[in-house]
Copies of this chain bind each other. A is one copy, B any other.
Amino acid sequence: MSKIQKDKTTEERILAAAKKIFVQQGMAGARMQDIADEAGINKALLHYYFKNKEQLFEVIFMEAAGRLFPRINEIFLSDQPLFEKIERFCSEYISIVLENPYLPLFVLNEINRDPDYFLGKVWKGKNVPQPEKFLAQIEKEVAKGTIRRISPLNLLMNLISMTIFPFVAKPMFQKNLGLDEWQFRATMEQRKKEIPKFIIDSIKK
C-alpha cells in the first residue's frame, strides 16, 4: 500500500501501479492482486480495465521500451557530426533514464526471456534499427584520419555500455561503492560529459 492519488483517473492509477510492480518484480513475479492493492482497487476492476495480465504487461512493456529504443535509433539515423552525436546521446539518454533508473534492466530482462517476440514488437513497422549509417560514419572518420583506426562495432558497444550499464547494475554499484541515492545521481550527471570525453580522448587523432 502506498499513496493513492485521488486526482488521477482509475486507469491512470492502474497503469502507475502496474508499472511499479512489473518493473520491480518482472512479468513472472508480479501479482495481479499486488497491482490492484497498489492502485487501491479491487482485482475484478483491474480485469474490467485490462482483460488479462499479459495485455496489461504488454502496455507497460511497450511504454517502457518506447522510451529507450527510439533514442538508440536516433544516434543511428541523425545527420550530426560523430562527436556531437556521441555527446548528445550520452546526455539525453542519461537524462531519460535518470527519471526511471530501473527501466533498462526491466526491458533487457524481458527481451532475454523471449528475444524474437519482444524485439519483434518493439521494432515493428518502419522503426527497424539501422546501425549501418552510424557504423559507416565511423569508418568514414577513420578514412578521413580524424579518429584512429577502431572497429565501429566496438565503438558502438562501448558507447552504449558505458551509458546504460551503471543503471542496470545500480544496486550493485551503490552498495559496493557506498553511494547513496543522491551521490549516484550526481555521478550519472557527471557522466553525461565524462563518457563523451573518455571516448573522444581515446579515438581522436
Question: Which A residues form the contact surface with B (CB < 8 A)?
Answer: 24-29, 102, 105, 108-109, 111-113, 115-116, 119, 123, 129, 131, 148, 150-151, 153-154, 156-158, 160-162, 164-166, 168-177, 187, 190-191, 194-195, 198-199, 201-203
Q: Tell me which of B115, B160, B164, B191 contacts A175 (CB under 8 A).
A: B115
Q: Tell me which of B168, B170, B171, B195 contacts A168 (CB under 8 A).
A: B168
Task: Find chain B residues with CB under 8 A from A187 CB.
Answer: 153-154, 157
Chain B minimum-CB-distance residue to A31: B28
Given A161-B165, A162-B157, verify A176-B113 contact (CB < 8 Å).
Answer: no
Task: Find chain B residues with CB under 8 A from A171 CB.
Answer: 111-112, 115, 119
Task: Find chain B residues with CB under 8 A from A24 CB.
Answer: 113
Q: Whole-angstrom distance between the alpha carbons of A165 and B156 in the complex? A: 12
Q: Whole-angstrom distance between the alpha carbons of A148 and B202 in the complex? A: 12
Task: Find chain B residues with CB under 8 A from A151 CB.
Answer: 190, 194
Task: Find chain B residues with CB under 8 A from A113 CB.
Answer: 24-25, 29
Task: Find chain B residues with CB under 8 A from A27 CB.
Answer: 29
